[in-house]
Amino acid sequence: MLKRYSILLKVFFALFLSFLAFFVSQDVLKIVFAFLGVIIFALSFQRFRKLFIVLVTIFVFLPALFFVSLSAIHTFDYINPFYNPAFHSFMFERFFGGYHDFFPEKESNSPQKLYPDKNLKAASDVRLYVSGLELDFSPNSTLISIPSNLITTRKHNVLEISAPQGKRYGNYTYVVKIGTKSKYKSLLVHSNGAALKGNMSEKVNDMTIECNGLALNGLFKVGKMIVNCNGATLSGEMNASTVRIDANGLVAHLSLNGVQDFAVNCNSAIGSVSYLDEWSGTRLFSLKGNAGTFSVKIPQNAGRLETTPTGVLVKIVRY
């Protein structure tokens, strides 16, 4: 009788670990909990327990580890490893989200755009925390235009704009327009996916972009530009003194004006930069990566460009 209870206890504990593996969001934790569950389940066998563990390891867990390593990307799951979107959606959005959530219509896979319908007075420091963002810089306005369901807080000279939380807001792209006739000291963009376009008529002292995916195209007048993204596609003109780019994958076709220090740290990089202005003395160009090809064009009468490429083939051409 005691032996039977011991087996049942092991089976119950194995099922509990399987339950944790199902609801945890991180792939590594899924594999760990599932592997422990298999071992404990195998211990309940009288015979062939070692063979069972070996076969499951070879044919299940090793392939799973391989595919997880291939598909690993930067996510925010570490903030709450037991948050599972499917479970959260079912348990909370369906039962506490309102009457219409009981009879949801078929959702479109493509995000819906929400356009500006509210104007804000600009501030010297602007911070945007919006997961899906289309940011348009308008040289003909002094205002910031946003969709009315975005949340705003203003303290002294700092204006924060953020998106409401929850699954129901996850399939939206918020269109925000920033009038660049106003002067900005700093601009921070923190987003899961962001598209930036337009022209800056006034110079921004510091501009920082932190996101998972970025598409940037336009004229950007900044003192210092910092880009920290998983994947970035950059085009247009950067009129800046310092540009810092950290990206897992980078595709860039940029024109540089007045850039004294240009530095890229990435896994792979493809593209080109063209210096528009001439200079005397020395400017810095650094590109560190593991693979890729990059071309750098500088004016015929420009000064010296000190390059420090690592892992990426860089070709310098004078025009």
At 73 the pLDDT is 40
Question: What one-character DSSP code corresponds to residue 163?
Answer: P
At 112 the pLDDT is 87
Phi, psi of 6 (to 5 degrees): -65, -40
d(CA 319, CA 300) in angstroms, rounded, equals 5
At 77 the pLDDT is 37
> What's the farthest any 2 CA atoms get from each other in the chain?
92
At 24 the pLDDT is 56
At 172 the pLDDT is 87
Which domains, and CATH codes, for the chain?
2-79 (no CATH), 112-318 (2.160.20)
In Å, what is the CA distance from 294 to each residue of 40, 237, 314? 53, 17, 5
At 91 the pLDDT is 40
Helix (H, G, I), strand (E, B) or coil at 64: helix
d(CA 194, CA 247) in angstroms, rounded, equals 14
At 271 the pLDDT is 92
On whether the CB atoms of residues 179 and 118 are closer than 8 A, the answer is no
The b-or-e profile of 206-218 (16+ CB within 10 A means b, else e) is bbbbbbbbbbbbb
Contacting residues for 299 by C-beta, under 8 A, at least 6 apart = 275, 276, 277, 278, 318, 319
If the chain, 319 residues long, is cut into consecutive pieces of 10 residues, what is the mean pLDDT of each piece? 55 61 58 64 59 56 52 39 41 39 46 91 95 93 94 94 77 92 94 93 93 94 94 94 94 95 92 94 93 92 91 90
Question: What one-character DSSP code corresponds to residue 60?
Answer: I
| Degrees, nearest 5: CA angle 196-249-164 | 45
The b-or-e profile of 86-113 (16+ CB within 10 A means b, else e) is eebbeeebeeeeeeeeeeeeeeeeeeee
Per the document, the length of the chain is: 319
Partner residues linked to 295 by β-bridges: 272, 315
Question: Beta strands 204-239 and 125-129: pairing type?
Answer: unpaired
At 135 the pLDDT is 96
DSSP labels for 228-242? Answer: EEEEEEEEEEEE-SE
At 265 the pLDDT is 93
d(CA 308, CA 184) in angstroms, rounded, equals 33
